[in-house]
A = this chain, B = another copy of it.
Amino acid sequence: MNAARIAPLRKLVLLGTGLIGGSFALALKRARLVDEVVGVGRNQANLDRAIELKVIDQACLDAAQAVQGAGLVMLGTPVGQMGRLMQQIAPHLPEDCLITDGGSTKQDVVALYREHLSAHLPRCVPGHPIAGSDLSGASAAQYGLYEGRRVVLTALPENTRESIARVRALWEACGAVVHEMSAEEHDGVFACVSHVPHLLAFSYMNAVLDRRNAERCLDFAATGFRDFTRIAGSHPEMWRDITLANREAILRDLHANRARLEELIALVEHADADALTAYIDRASKARSKWGKR
């Protein structure tokens, strides 16, 4: 997409001025696709920092006031805060204003759009940039974060083609590769390759800690352990929220994982060498193939 052919936004409003929204604003500024960025947040120090870093041009503590005259609102907060913010802005949103978000679960965000912004659904285009980080806050915002990264849009049936095309074009101007899928497919895919691995890593760490000689075990843990458990160090509240938000898809995958684990236990109990080799071989081949992509 040629950035020169996209009409610039007069005013972008970030609800939440952290890694996701801040990096989006920086990328659009660099592409000269936004005239003014207004950041809304609850933490004055973070807003001050965002102005200092030129992530935003103006700070505002009141979301309703901030969205006046906005061309695009980006919800970049944790999903748990989005409902309240949608409620606050609903009566004040300009009629032609686009709305998108960076939430890592989508069916629940779609439900929030339907609940709080029902009059604006043609212009609410849910999104998920696949660019997580352990960092957060305005200081974490960076140019180029989305360069070559994937962004999933889970468009609503109510969306106008123009709304989808415009949100897509803005992400592409940030360097992102945009994919579209349904919110249901999105939540299934990310339960499988992101949410469930996190939960399995938490579960494994708890099993290690249950051992009487846990400290001794951790003393001898090496590189395999380090990589396998890296995601077990993730933020508890964030992962509780993701887990509850995407509960159904996650439960389906957790049950499938339990069945596979039970099969494995049976193979080891029966010392079934051939079946064990086949079991490991299937996993190993697939992982090696994935690594060569």
**Interface residues in chain A, defined as those with a beta carbon under 8 Å from any beta carbon in chain B:** 130, 132, 150, 152, 179, 185, 188-190, 192-194, 196-211, 213, 216-218, 220-237, 239-240, 243-244, 247, 250-251, 253-262, 264-265, 268-269, 271, 273, 276-277, 279-284, 286-288, 290-291
- The main secondary structure of chain A at its interface with chain B is helix
Residues of B within 8 Å of A224, CB to CB, are 132, 193-194, 197-198, 230-231
Residues of B within 8 Å of A276, CB to CB, are 240, 243-244
Partner of A277, one of B204, B240, B287: B240
Are the C-beta atoms of A193 and B218 separated by less than 8 Å? yes
Residues of B within 8 Å of A244, CB to CB, are 268, 271, 273, 276
Partner of A221, one of B152, B193, B268, B280: B193
- Chosen A-B contacts, 25 in total, with CB atoms closer than 8 Å, are A132-B222, A185-B216, A189-B213, A193-B208, A193-B222, A193-B224, A193-B225, A194-B224, A197-B224, A200-B204, A203-B264, A204-B257, A207-B256, A210-B260, A211-B256, A227-B228, A234-B280, A236-B284, A237-B277, A239-B280, A250-B268, A251-B269, A254-B265, A255-B265, A258-B261
Residues of B within 8 Å of A271, CB to CB, are 244, 247
How far does the alpha carbon of A239 sit from the alpha carbon of B217 in the complex, in Å?
Answer: 20
For the complex with contacts A132-B223, A206-B279, 15 further pairs of A-B residues with Cβ separation under 8 Å are A132-B222, A189-B217, A194-B221, A194-B225, A199-B268, A200-B204, A202-B280, A203-B261, A207-B256, A224-B230, A230-B287, A240-B273, A243-B268, A244-B268, A258-B258
